[in-house]
Protein backbone atom coordinates (compact mmCIF):
# COMPACT_ATOMS: atom_id res chain seq x y z
CA UNK A 1 0.00 0.00 0.00
CA UNK A 2 2.76 2.44 0.94
CA UNK A 3 4.48 1.76 -2.39
CA UNK A 4 1.26 2.88 -4.11
CA UNK A 5 1.34 6.22 -2.26
CA UNK A 6 -1.22 5.32 0.40
CA UNK A 7 -0.38 6.60 3.88
CA UNK A 8 0.15 3.56 6.08
CA UNK A 9 0.53 3.99 9.84
CA UNK A 10 3.55 2.60 11.66
CA UNK A 11 2.42 -0.07 14.09
CA UNK A 12 3.53 -2.71 16.54
CA UNK A 13 2.01 -6.01 17.64
CA UNK A 14 1.78 -6.49 21.41
CA UNK A 15 1.10 -9.43 23.70
CA UNK A 16 0.04 -9.17 27.35
CA UNK A 17 2.85 -7.54 29.34
CA UNK A 18 4.52 -5.86 26.34
CA UNK A 19 5.10 -2.13 26.66
CA UNK A 20 4.06 0.00 23.67
CA UNK A 21 6.70 2.34 22.25
CA UNK A 22 4.52 4.49 19.98
CA UNK A 23 3.45 7.80 21.53
CA UNK A 24 -0.15 9.08 21.24
CA UNK A 25 -2.16 9.78 19.30
CA UNK A 26 -2.51 6.08 18.45
CA UNK A 27 -5.22 3.62 17.52
CA UNK A 28 -5.28 0.48 19.65
CA UNK A 29 -7.17 -2.53 18.33
CA UNK A 30 -7.41 -6.28 18.79
CA UNK A 31 -5.38 -8.18 16.19
CA UNK A 32 -8.17 -10.68 15.52
CA UNK A 33 -11.35 -8.64 15.69
CA UNK A 34 -13.49 -6.85 13.13
CA UNK A 35 -16.03 -4.05 12.82
CA UNK A 36 -14.29 -1.79 15.34
CA UNK A 37 -14.89 -4.11 18.32
CA UNK A 38 -12.36 -3.20 21.01
CA UNK A 39 -10.87 -0.32 19.00
CA UNK A 40 -9.88 2.89 20.81
CA UNK A 41 -8.35 6.18 19.68
CA UNK A 42 -5.87 7.15 22.40
CA UNK A 43 -5.01 10.84 22.47
CA UNK A 44 -2.91 10.89 25.65
CA UNK A 45 -0.72 8.51 27.64
CA UNK A 46 -3.17 8.46 30.57
CA UNK A 47 -5.70 6.55 28.44
CA UNK A 48 -3.25 3.90 27.16
CA UNK A 49 -3.84 1.25 29.87
CA UNK A 50 -7.64 1.31 29.61
CA UNK A 51 -7.48 1.04 25.82
CA UNK A 52 -5.06 -1.90 25.99
CA UNK A 53 -7.31 -3.65 28.52
CA UNK A 54 -10.31 -3.20 26.23
CA UNK A 55 -8.44 -4.54 23.19
CA UNK A 56 -7.05 -7.54 25.09
CA UNK A 57 -10.62 -8.50 26.04
CA UNK A 58 -11.13 -9.31 22.33
CA UNK A 59 -7.78 -10.88 21.39
CA UNK A 60 -4.53 -12.19 22.85
CA UNK A 61 -2.59 -9.86 20.54
CA UNK A 62 -3.13 -6.13 20.10
CA UNK A 63 -2.07 -3.78 17.33
CA UNK A 64 -0.97 -0.26 18.25
CA UNK A 65 -0.78 2.07 15.24
CA UNK A 66 0.13 5.71 14.92
CA UNK A 67 -2.98 7.77 14.21
CA UNK A 68 -3.07 9.37 10.79
CA UNK A 69 -5.87 11.87 10.33
CA UNK A 70 -7.00 11.38 6.76
CA UNK A 71 -10.70 12.08 6.75
CA UNK A 72 -13.01 9.33 5.57
CA UNK A 73 -12.17 5.65 6.06
CA UNK A 74 -12.63 3.37 3.07
CA UNK A 75 -12.52 -0.42 3.22
CA UNK A 76 -11.97 -2.87 0.43
CA UNK A 77 -11.60 -6.62 0.69
CA UNK A 78 -8.55 -7.94 -1.15
CA UNK A 79 -7.53 -11.48 -2.05
CA UNK A 80 -4.56 -12.93 -3.87
CA UNK A 81 -5.45 -14.90 -7.00
CA UNK A 82 -2.61 -16.50 -8.95
CA UNK A 83 -0.16 -14.03 -7.41
CA UNK A 84 -2.26 -10.96 -8.25
CA UNK A 85 -4.15 -8.72 -5.82
CA UNK A 86 -7.87 -8.65 -6.61
CA UNK A 87 -10.23 -6.07 -5.07
CA UNK A 88 -13.61 -7.43 -4.05
CA UNK A 89 -16.79 -5.55 -4.94
Residue 55 DSSP SS3: helix
Query: Which of 21, 36, 32, 25 has the alpha carbon at shortest distance from 69?
Result: 25
Q: What is the mean pLDDT of residues 12-35?
A: 93
- What is the pLDDT, as a whole number, of residue 69? 85
Q: Is the pTM of this model over 0.85?
A: no
Domain extent listing, the chain = 10-70
**Each residue's pLDDT tens digit, 26-85:** 999 999 877 789 999 999 999 999 999 999 999 999 999 999 987 677 778 889 999 999
Domain 10-70 listed as CATH 3.90.550.10: no
Report how far residue 85's alpha carbon sits from residue 71's, in angstroms, rounded to the nearest whole number. Answer: 25
Amino acid sequence: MAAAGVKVPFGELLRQGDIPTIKPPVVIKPASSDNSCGVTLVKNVADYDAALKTAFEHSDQVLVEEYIELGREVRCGILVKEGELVGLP
